[in-house]
Chain A
Amino acid sequence: GENVEQHPSTLSVQEGDSAVIKCTYSDSASNYFPWYKQELGKGPQLIIDIRSNVGEKKDQRIAVTLNKTAKHFSLHITETQPEDSAVYFCAPRGSNDYKLSFGAGTTVTVRA
């Protein structure tokens, strides 16, 4: 099965600074790479995703970059705001797989 690791496990940033979370995966056949944000008491919310034929994707303050050779992808949040405080999960999916394989999560705290 897919082994997924996220780093760091916790991240504290000053409001306005950038945050970067890295996700490494083991299945070279993975072809779909989403990031989810989970706030307390809620289900995970899809915030951005990328597919294997694309190296980078951006949506306003968030971006995802993919390095298929090294088998890792990263979430970038710029100009962080207090409402960005949450737990973030990467969840790659293999080409012959129906399930998402979640990482252990990264707790992001944005200090005002």
Chain B
Amino acid sequence: DAGVTQSPTHLIKTRGQQVTLRCSPKSGHDTVSWYQQALGQGPQFIFQYYEEEERQRGNFPDRFSGHQFPNYSSELNVNALLLGDSALYLCASSLGLGGGTEAFFGQGTRLTVV
């Protein structure tokens, strides 16, 4: 049973460019959340998708957008990249909305903006 998978594992982009990160949830899960983890810090919530809709959003600018597909996989898009967007981007999957469901994380995508 495959866990949460993310691609690519590493990415280098130039300031001002756009990037798309991808996530496939754990088998049986239908909810995907995205987090940003800066070096030496805890993950920060970006947004969560359920039934192809954004259900909750953290304190991130509109440059960060996402999408969920009918097969529950998800993409995170970041436009007009800034140096400060360099971080580990984590995808977590869970079952259903609401509190109390276990969230499982992928290995992350390491984004470096130069």
Contact = CB atoms under 8 A, between A and B. Distances in A.
Interface of A: 31-32, 34, 36, 41-46, 49, 51, 89, 91, 93-105
Interface residues of B, number: 26
Of the listed residues B33, B44, B105, the one surrounded by the most CB atoms of chain A closer than 10 A to its CB is: B105
Interface of B: 4, 33, 35, 40-45, 48, 55-56, 58, 90, 92, 97-100, 102-108
B104 A97 contact: no
Given A97-B56, A98-B56, A99-B56, A46 B103 contact: yes
Contacts of A36: 105
A14 B48 CA distance: 40
Given A93-B99, A98-B97, A43 B90 contact: yes
Nearest to A44: B105
A49 B98 CA distance: 16
A107 to B, nearest CB: 9
